[in-house]
């Protein structure tokens, strides 16, 4: 985390004090105070991040707000606070803090990628495309496949399917192990009636071990294809796998409902 701002601000204040002819005794006190605030802010941020990782979102927000009060110009605090608000379902607050982070550093790539994702989550697909494109056009962005995947999914929701597919295929050209791009391409294939191509995509997702949420969704979508093919037995297998992966998650719940209809 870069802490240079606090030092630059102290330098400016000290210069103004000298021009005004103020006494120099104790002139290092403001610098010490700023450094102390930054240290305390980092401590609050660390605690808040731990709470967030462990699912205690309300406690995370409290710690991160304390960190922000001590050091409001730290872009990483703004980003982490935005994520906490997003997890709490307070999307307007999340957007506000992401924009604060970008105001502090317009080249803050993590914040811009998160903002594009938030716009997708809140159905602002044109805005999501615009933010993702800024990252795609940035030659210093180290993971263009992530921005291309966001762009592709947003374009798909705008019914610009050809452009969506191009973006997602480009993402895979960069990184064919990026499971989100594979999953989204599988969804497009399924919607286009290309069931076997979609099945192949979803099987690739499972092979990439995407974690509980991605595994549950891929299994659910495979089950849908098996139902359409008339193979209820294989469909049930994948629905059971989806519920076991993330019983309380959205795909686990959908799979459980689907199982009740099939049985």
Give me the pLDDT at residue 170, please: 98
Supply the pLDDT for residue 8.
31
- One CATH from 1.10.3720.10, 3.90.180.10, 3.40.50.620, 1.25.40.10 for 176-263: 1.25.40.10
Q: Which pLDDT score is estimated for 2? A: 37
| Contact by Cβ (8 Å): 194, 161 | no
Q: What is the pTM of this model?
A: 0.83
Instruction: Please tell me the predicted confidence (pLDDT) of residue 27.
Output: 56
CA distances from 255 to 46, 77, 200, 227, 244 (A): 37, 37, 20, 13, 10
Domain positions in the chain: 176-263
Question: Would you call 209 exposed, middle or buried from its count of C-beta atoms within 10 A (0-12, 13-18, 19+)?
Answer: exposed
pLDDT tens, per residue, the chain with 263 residues: 333 333 232 332 223 333 333 334 455 666 777 888 899 999 999 999 999 999 999 999 999 999 999 999 999 999 999 999 999 999 999 999 999 999 999 999 999 999 999 999 999 999 999 999 999 999 999 999 999 999 999 999 999 999 999 999 999 999 999 999 999 999 999 999 999 999 999 999 999 999 999 999 999 999 999 999 999 999 999 999 999 987 888 898 999 999 988 87
Interhelix angle 179-191/212-228, nearest 10 degrees: 20
The residues, ordered by sequence, that sit 6+ positions from 242 with a Cβ below 8 Å of its Cβ are 215, 216, 217, 219, 220, 223, 251, 252, 254, 255
């Amino acid at each position: 985390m870069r802490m240079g701002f606090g030092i630059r601000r102290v330098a400016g204040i000290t210069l103004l004090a000298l021009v005004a002819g103020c006494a120099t005794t104790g002139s290092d006190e403001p610098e010490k105070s700023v450094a102390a605030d930054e240290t305390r802010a980092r401590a609050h941020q660390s605690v808040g991040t731990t709470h967030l990782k462990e699912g205690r979102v309300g406690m995370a927000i409290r710690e991160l707000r304390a960190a922000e009060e001590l050091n409001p110009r730290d872009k990483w605090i703004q980003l982490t606070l935005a994520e906490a608000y997003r997890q709490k379902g307070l999307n307007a607050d999340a957007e506000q803090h992401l924009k604060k982070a970008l105001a502090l550093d317009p080249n803050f790539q993590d914040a811009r990628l998160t903002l594009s994702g938030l716009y997708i989550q809140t159905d602002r697909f044109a805005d999501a495309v615009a933010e993702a494109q800024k990252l795609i056009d940035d030659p210093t962005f180290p993971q263009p496949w992530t921005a291309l995947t966001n762009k592709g999914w947003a374009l798909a929701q705008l019914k610009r399917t050809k452009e969506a597919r191009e973006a997602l295929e480009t993402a895979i050209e960069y990184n064919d192990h990026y499971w989100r791009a594979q999953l989204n391409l599988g969804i497009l294939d399924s919607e286009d009636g290309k069931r076997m191509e979609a099945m192949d995509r979803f099987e690739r997702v499972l092979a990439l071990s995407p974690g509980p949420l991605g595994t549950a969704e891929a299994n659910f979508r495979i089950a849908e294809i098996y139902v359409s093919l008339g193979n209820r037995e294989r469909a049930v297998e994948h629905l059971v796998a989806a519920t076991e992966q993330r019983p309380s998650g959205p795909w686990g719940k959908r799979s459980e409902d689907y199982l009740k209809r099939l049985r």
